[in-house]
Amino acid sequence: MSNAGAVLRHYSRFWSAPPLERGRFDVFRIVSFGGAVYATCGLSDAVGALELILEAPAAAATEPVVELLAAAARHHLEVDWLGVGHTLDFGRPWLPGSQCTHGLITLPRLDGLDRLEAPAVRVLQLVPITAAEHALKMTDGLDALEERLEKLDWADPNPR
């Protein structure tokens, strides 16, 4: 049985805007809410019981945000399961002109968003970070990086 319906209902409890489909991939799709939150739907049906969200500036072009979230989802499907504390090297800025070239998988800021009614499905957030922040995580640990991130707007392409 598919988790996609339960995932969409769960997301809808947090964002009042209806979901807009932004892309369909082999086993998942990406939807957005209010043009600022992008989320996988159906990824949890394929492997690892995980869905991912990514906050973006409302004015950001949709294509690079969808491309980045799809790449993270494919990494989870094809390379290595993602979980809290994992980082990804994007190989480029997450948005044009941004200093953020890496991503951190973490718990979402919205309390309860990470827990679905669907059994064992978890929603985690992909947060763009700089190479220096990635280095901070590698040297001082995840807690040090998350403490730094608490003070930032995660959707800002250049919050540093």
For residue range 61-75, list pLDDT tens digits in order: 899 999 999 999 999
Q: What percent of the chain has pLDDT above 90?
A: 62
- For residue 46, tell me if it sits in a domain: yes
Q: How far apart are CA 65 and CA 22, in angstroms?
A: 10
Query: What pLDDT, on a 0 to 100 scale, did the predictor assign at position 35?
Result: 82
Helix, strand and coil in the chain, % to nearest 5: 30, 25, 45
As a whole number, mean pLDDT of residues 25-29 equals 92
Which residue did the predictor score with more confidence, 4 or 103?
103
| Confidence at 113, pLDDT banded by 50, 70, 90 | confident
pLDDT above 80 (res 157): no
As a whole number, mean pLDDT of residues 36-42 equals 94
- For residue 157, tell me if it sits in a domain: no
pLDDT above 60 (res 30): yes
- For residue 158, tell me if it sits in a domain: no
Range 13-16 contact pairs with CB under 8 angstroms and sequence separation of 24 or more: 14/110, 14/112, 14/113
- For residue 107, tell me if it sits in a domain: yes
- For residue 154, tell me if it sits in a domain: no
- For residue 45, tell me if it sits in a domain: yes
- Pairing label, strands 87-89, 122-130: unpaired
pLDDT above 60 (res 85): yes
Question: How many domains, the chain?
Answer: 1
- For residue 19, tell me if it sits in a domain: yes
As a whole number, mean pLDDT of residues 35-52 equals 90
The token pair that represents 64 in the structure block: 């690079």
pLDDT above 90 (res 14): no
The token pair that represents 57 in the structure block: 């500036």
| Confidence at 135, pLDDT banded by 50, 70, 90 | very high
| Confidence at 43, pLDDT banded by 50, 70, 90 | very high
Query: What pLDDT, on a 0 to 100 scale, did the predictor assign at position 1?
Result: 56
| Phi and psi torsions of 90, nearest 5° | -70, -25
Supply the range of the domain harboring residue 53.
4-149
SS3 of 69, please? Answer: helix
For residue 48, with 0-12 CB atoms within 10 Å meaning exposed, 13-18 middle and 19 or more buried, which class applies?
Answer: middle
pLDDT above 70 (res 89): yes
For 115, which DSSP code? Answer: B
